[in-house]
Amino acid sequence: MEENNLEAKKTILIVDDEKPIVDILVYNLQKEGYNTLEANDGEEAVRIAFEEQIDLILLDIMLPKMDGLTVCKKIRNSFNIPIIMISAKDEEIDKILGLELGADDYITKPFSVRELVARVKANLRKADATTKVAEAPKVNKNEVEEENVVVIGELSLNLDKFEVKVRGKAIDLTLREFEVLRYLANQPGQVVTREVLLEKVWGYEYYGDIRTVDVTIRRIREKIENDTSSPKILITKRGVGYYLSSK
């Protein structure tokens, strides 16, 4: 009951032009204790996102007036709201999770309501945890920054400011990409499986597409590696997982 009381404060914007899907999502999310808002086209979704206090957005790709990818880009430029894209096309994952969009997650139709609710809860938990870290009081700024900078080889992570540098150059990462590096940085040189990353970074114990991890890793490499075909920082252990090189 306590968890539902907390979640009742969360408002989810559902963006889809198929009324049966919207009705199902509204019913199940309200049953879980969430508030819901609805938009049936892309322009309405952007308007609501700018006018209302939204905690998470479920966003269909195929929408009238403005497609979901454009909606995601417009909202992400102004807000750091978790966005879960809903796609009928499985191969859209590269675009959905791309730097130019910055979506946090995706799910493909047809989907189980149970899985979607699990994704919603996981993304809200992650967003809450990140907000608490960012808002934590800092007693001694110099001391905190020194304690929260992790250096591994050519990579440095400021865990306090959510900043990443490679060879001293600042790198622009999405929050999810930063979380992946931070988790790997906790055990430099140790191989972490995709399943563990999916559970620890995305918060999925039973649900989630392993390819989400692979796409995110590839996006990170495009930003931090000189040669993505021969990575020196973020290494693949074939058939096992990924690790950060300490060299």
Q: Do 32 and 85 share a domain, yes or no?
A: yes
Q: What is the DSSP letter of 74?
A: H
The CATH number of residue 208's host domain is 1.10.10.10
Q: Do 6 and 126 share a domain, yes or no?
A: yes
Q: Do 153 and 119 share a domain, yes or no?
A: no
Q: Do 154 and 239 share a domain, yes or no?
A: yes
Q: Do 221 and 130 share a domain, yes or no?
A: no
User: What are the distances in angstroms from CA 150 to CA 79, 145, 166, 181, 185?
Assistant: 27, 10, 12, 11, 7
* Interatomic CA distance for residues 215 and 198, integer angstroms: 12
Q: Do 100 and 159 share a domain, yes or no?
A: no
- Count the domains in the chain: 2
What pLDDT was estimated at residue 76? 83
Classify strands 83-87 and 105-108 as parallel, antiparallel or unpaired: parallel
Q: Do 207 and 93 share a domain, yes or no?
A: no
Note the pTM of the prediction, 2 decimals: 0.67
Where is the domain boundary, 86, 104, 134? 134
What pLDDT was estimated at residue 135? 53
Where is the domain boundary, 89, 117, 134? 134
Are the C-beta atoms of residues 111 and 90 closer than 8 Å to each other?
A: no
Q: Do 180 and 232 share a domain, yes or no?
A: yes
What pLDDT was estimated at residue 14? 96
Q: Domain of residue 181: give its range.
A: 138-244
Nearest to 99 by CA among 209, 175, 180: 175
The CATH number of residue 82's host domain is 3.40.50.2300
Q: Do 167 and 116 share a domain, yes or no?
A: no
The per-residue pLDDT string of the chain (247 residues; one tens digit each, 9 = 90 and over) reads: 444 444 448 999 999 999 999 999 999 999 999 999 999 999 999 999 999 999 999 999 889 999 888 898 888 878 888 899 888 766 566 666 654 566 778 888 888 898 899 889 888 887 776 655 545 555 444 444 455 888 888 888 888 777 889 988 888 887 788 889 999 998 888 999 998 998 888 876 656 677 888 888 988 999 999 888 889 999 999 888 999 987 7
Where is the domain boundary, 134, 164, 192? 134
Q: Do 167 and 62 share a domain, yes or no?
A: no
Burial letters for 166-194: b for 16+ Cβ neighbours within 10 Å, e otherwise? beeeebebbebbbbbbeebbeebeeebeb
